[in-house]
Amino acid sequence: MRVLITGANGQLGKDLALYGKQVADVFALGKDQLDITKGSEVSQVIHSVTPDIIIHAAAYTAVDLCEVEQKRAFDINSLGALNIAKKAKEINAKMVYISTDYVFSGDKGAPYVEEDTPNPKSVYGMSKWLGEQIVQSTIEESYIIRTSWLYGSGGNNFAKTMLKLAEQKKEVHVVNDQIGSPTYTKDLSKIIFQLIKKRYGIYHVSNLGQCSWFTFARHIFKIAGYDSNLIKPISTKAYGAKAPRPAYSVLAHIELEKEDIPIPRYWEEAIIEFIREELQRD
């Protein structure tokens, strides 16, 4: 099985490549090797690699910057997905598109199931939802995998930021009225490689449980051995981020259960493993 991974320099791409090399012949390409916004380059690379499966992890995920750089957001998250999907179909390869909980408004007040209709509030969310629709309408042999609040060793993320701030021993204000499920890229990567053997469709994949960013931050401080009381709550409105976020974007795992795929462990367990590895690395 030949697997092409886009966005290989991102935190998910790195863990996908590490896990994938245990079970497949992996070609992991970063932006320098594959610019997904250039159709001719996508065509050349895909025809050269001739993968059986393309895991499309490349994305523009700077949520607030997407509000400013709207064209870039849609070029990467939507047009880039179209370029990949067209060539995947052309060579009869399967495609996996990594999407986000931010395709939902957050107004439901209960975990989102795969059949819920997206209604994104941000440009980032809109660009990813358009990407979903493009992939589904272009290639039938595709998987849409929505995930949430990603963190991993291979890139910048909230968990790493909290660890750095913890060392400074200063007060940190963190939003306490957004609820979601932190998801470890290692756990997500394993599930993706299980899913590519299952039926096509939309799947929600996140670690079990839910929390606010505030609770997540305090847990990180505590596990790492720092004073969790340095984390202070702040409202989304007071924080003043440029892009609107869903207030409640917990994902239900209905389709994973139908396929008898174990749901990833609770987020509290996953973050312990991540922090231990980060502290050992330091």
Residues belonging to the chain: 282
CA distance 100 to 94: 20
If you search the block for the tokens 């994949």, which residue do you land on? 205
Residue 164 inside a domain? The answer is no
Inform me whether the pLDDT recorded for 184 exceeds 80.
Answer: yes
Q: Residue 81 belongs to a domain with what CATH number?
A: 3.40.50.720
How many CA atoms does the CB half-sphere of 115 hold within 13 Å? Answer: 2
pLDDT at 280 over 90: no
Instruction: Report if residue 167 sits inside a domain.
Output: no
Asked whether residue 7 is assigned to any structural domain, the reply reads yes
Dist CA 53 CA 89 (whole Å)? 11
How far apart (Å, rounded) are the C-alpha atoms in residues 242 and 240?
6
Reported as a single tens digit per residue, the pLDDT across 103-137 is 999 999 999 999 999 999 999 999 999 999 999 99
Locate 109 and state its tokens. 């007040």
What is the per-residue pLDDT for 282?
Answer: 63
Residue 18 has pLDDT above 70, yes or no: yes
Q: Is residue 230 part of a domain?
A: no
> Tell me, what's the pLDDT at 281?
77
Q: Catalytic site residues?
A: 124
Q: What are the structure tokens assigned to 208, written together?
A: 């079990």
Name the more confident of 140 and 280: 140
Per-residue pLDDT at 273 exceeds 90: yes
Q: How confident is the model at residue 180 (pLDDT cuts 50, 70, 90)?
A: very high
Count: domains in the chain: 1
Asked whether residue 88 is assigned to any structural domain, the reply reads yes
pLDDT > 80? residue 231: yes
Q: In which element (H, E) is residue 94 found?
A: strand 94-100
Torsion of CA 28, 33, 38, 43, to 10 degrees: -60
Per-residue pLDDT tens for 258-270?
Answer: 999 999 999 999 9
pLDDT of residue 149: 98
At 200 the pLDDT is 98
Contacts 24+ apart (CB under 8 A), 70-74: 70/123, 73/123, 73/124, 73/127, 74/127, 74/130
Q: Is residue 279 part of a domain?
A: no
> Which residue range is the domain that position 55 belongs to?
2-157+182-208+250-265
Q: What average pLDDT does this structure show over 12-23? A: 96
For tokens 């949520």, the residue is 63
Q: Does residue 237 sit within a domain?
A: no
Cα–Cα nearest to 189, from 76, 62, 20? 20
**Contact (Cβ atoms closer than 8 angstroms) between residue 184 and residue 209:** no
pLDDT in tens, 59-78: 999 999 999 999 999 999 99
Residue 144 located in a structural domain: yes
pTM: 0.96
For residue 107, the tally of other CB atoms under 10 A from its CB is 10
Q: How confident is the model at residue 279 (pLDDT cuts 50, 70, 90)?
A: confident
Instruction: Write 33-38 long-range contacts (CB < 8 A, 24+).
Output: 33/8, 34/6, 34/58, 36/6, 36/76, 36/80, 36/81, 36/83, 36/84, 37/75, 37/76, 37/79, 37/80, 37/83, 38/83
Pair 110, 61: CB distance under 8 Å: no
